[in-house]
Amino acid sequence: MSAIYSVMDAILPFECFQLERMKSALLAILLLTPLLALLGTMAVNRRMAFFSDALGHSALAGVGLGMLLGVQNELISMIVFGILWALAISHINRTGGESADTIISVFSSTGIAVGLLILSGNGTFAKYSYLLAGDVLAVKPENLLGLLLALPLGVGTWVALYNKLLLTAVNPALAQSRGINTKWVEYAFVALVAVAVMLSIRWVGVLLINALLILPAAAARNISRTARQHAAFSVLIGLFSGVAGLVAAYHLGTGVGAAVVLCAAACYAVTLPMKKRTR
C-alpha cells in the first residue's frame, strides 16, 4: 500500500490527503460507491428502495447471533445472516400476499430489534454501536483488499444479471416465456445486495446505508434517458458525493457518512427540476 500512497501524494497534493487515514478512506470510497450506485439503479427500477434499509438493520442481528454461536469474525456473521434475511424477504414478498413495503418494514424492525435485544442483553451493545453511524476513517490498509476484490466481482455479477433483472422487473411473464427463472434471478440479486450492504455497513453505518445506495441512483434517474445513462450517471454521482463528502467532513470536522449522504441529497435536489425535461 505504501506505493499506492506515494502515488496519491504525487497526484493529490492537498492537505487533507496527507494523512494516511484520509488516503485509506478515499480508496474505500472509490471502491464502495460504484458498486452501491450500480446496485441502486436496479433497486430503484424494481421499487426496492427500502430493501437495503431492512438489510442494514439486520446487521445488528447478524452480529448478535454470530456472537451467540461463537463466530469470531463479525463480517462473516453479517454476510451470512444478511443473505438469509434477504432471501427470506424476497421469498415472502413473492408468496406472502402482503405489499412489498409492509414486508420490508416488518423485517426491518424485526432485524434491528433482535440485534438490540441480544447485544444489550449481554452488555456488549456499546462495543458495536459504531455500526449505527459507521466510520470510513477507520478503514485500515488490510481492509482495502477485501473491498478491491468485492468491486469487480460485484460489478461482474451485476452485469451478468442486468438484462434478466430488467426484463423480470418490466414484464415477468415475458421473462418466463424466454426461459428466465425469475425466482432465482431475483434471489441472486438480493443476495448480491446483501453482500454489498454488509461489506459497506462498517464504514457507512446502519442509519445511512440505504440513503447511499438509493440517492445516487434516484438522482441519476432524473437526468437519464436510457438504462446505460442511468448506470453511468449513478456511478458518477456516487463517486462525486463520496469524495466531496469526505473532503467536506475533513474541513468541517463532521462525520463522513452524513456528509456523503448530504452531498448525494444535494445532487438529487439539483437534478430534480431536470426530470420533466429529460422525460
Round to whole Å and give the CA distance between 144 and 64.
25
Instruction: Encode pLDDT of 30-87 as tens digits.
Output: 888 888 888 888 888 777 777 777 888 888 888 888 888 878 787 888 888 889 988 8
Decide if pLDDT at 110 tops 90: no
For residue 277, the model assigns a pLDDT of: 62
| CA 183/CA 91 separation, integer angstroms | 8
Residue 5 lies in a domain: no
CA distance 108 to 50: 9
* 11 found inside a domain: no
d(CA 172, CA 164): 10
Average pLDDT of the chain to the nearest whole number: 82
pLDDT tens sequence across 114-124: 888 887 776 66
Burial of 187 (0-12, 13-18, 19+ CB in 10 A): middle
Which residues, including other chains, have CB under 8 Å from residue 93's CB and lie 6 or more apart?
Answer: 100, 103, 104
Q: Does 198 fall in a domain?
A: yes
- pLDDT tens for 135-175 read 787 788 777 887 888 888 888 888 888 888 878 777 777 77
Work out how many domains the chain is built from and give that number: 1
H/E run at residue 270: helix 256-271
CA 76 to CA 199: how far, in whole Å? 10
Q: Would you say residue 8 lies in a domain?
A: no
32, three cell numbers: 464502495
Angle at 84 between CA 78 and CA 90, to 5 degrees: 130
Is residue 96 assigned to a domain?
yes
Q: What is the pLDDT of residue 45?
A: 77
Local structure of 159: helix, strand or coil: helix
- This prediction has a pTM of 0.84
Q: Note whether residue 186 is domain-resident.
A: yes
Q: What is the pLDDT of residue 276?
A: 62
Q: Is residue 4 part of a domain?
A: no
Q: Could you tell me the CATH number of the domain that includes residue 265?
A: 1.10.3470.10
Where in the sequence is the domain holding 121, given as residue range(s)? 16-278
Contact 57, 114 (CB under 8 A): no
Residue 233 forms part of a structural domain = yes
